[in-house]
A = this chain, B = another copy of it.
Amino acid sequence: MTKNMEPTTTVQRLPMYHRCLQKLNTEGVEIVSSKELGEKVGVPATQVRKDLSYYGEFGQRGVGYQVSLLLKHLRKILGLEKEWKIVLVGVGHLGQALIKYQGFRNLGLNIDYAVDIDPQKVSTQVAGVEIKAMSELEQIITKEEIEIGIIAAPAQVAQEIADKLVAGGIKAIWNFAPRYIEVPYEVKLVNEDLSVGLIGLTYHLAES
């Protein structure tokens, strides 16, 4: 009898709850029910309760959830309490946009390291982040104990970069290159293919 694990879909919904609770908290709302929270993020109340139940009992029957308390728990669950070290590889248009993206800052996630293959870009700064040479990548990861790597480089070099990240001892990779890359089992990989979202729309428009 193995323990009941959280579905991957639950993990994808947690950030939405977190975001909503952040907003409610700044608005001064103190209590929220699974029904209200669900409506705000487009998920049934029963799904909200189920999702949270994988991690503990955070609410009070007949009352609801204390916003600030649930927010705190979610921050813990999502690993937002810790300060993560993140390196971005490939400072093109997308890479720069990611460095400047306010959404990450609001979560306390800052991209403080960046490397690029273009010598022209090396030693320049983007939003206060100094761009280092690609040749230094492995060393930087090891020395600075960087845990998360973001690949925002062309598909052709994505695997090569992934290998370097792994060699440096990276623990997790967020890959924006539209390509399947292979990493060791112990390295967590999330692919973010921007085309998929857009094609999702053309697909539905085409069939209707």
Chain A contacts to B: CB under 8 angstroms: 11-12, 14-16, 18-20, 40-42, 76-82, 84, 93-94, 96-98, 100-104, 107, 109, 147-148, 154, 171-174, 178-180, 188, 190, 192-207
| Bound CA span A97–B93, Å | 5
Q: Is the CB of B194 within 8 A of A40?
A: no
Contacts of A84 in B (CB 8 A): 202, 205
Q: Is the CB of A200 within 8 A of B190?
A: yes
Contacts of A98 in B (CB 8 A): 194
Neighbour of A172 across the interface among B82, B171, B201, CB < 8 A: B201
Contacts of A104 in B (CB 8 A): 194-195, 198
Neighbour of A94 across the interface among B11, B12, B97, CB < 8 A: B97
* Closest chain B residue, CB of each to CB of A100: B93
The answer to whether residues A205 and B103 also contact, given A19-B195, A193-B16 and a CB cut-off of 8 A, is no
The smallest beta-carbon distance between A25 and chain B, in angstroms, is 15
Overall SS of chain A's interface: helix
Q: Is the CB of A201 within 8 A of B180?
A: no
Q: Which 6 A-B pairs have the closest CB atoms?
A: A79-B206, A79-B202, A97-B97, A172-B201, A93-B97, A15-B199
The smallest beta-carbon distance between A57 and chain B, in angstroms, is 18
| Bound CA span A203–B102, Å | 20
Q: Is the CB of A77 within 8 A of B19?
A: no
| Bound CA span A16–B84, Å | 30
Q: Is the CB of A148 within 8 A of B97?
A: no
Q: What are 10 A-B pairs at a CB distance below 8 A?
A: A11-B203, A14-B199, A78-B199, A79-B202, A81-B206, A103-B178, A148-B202, A174-B198, A174-B201, A188-B205
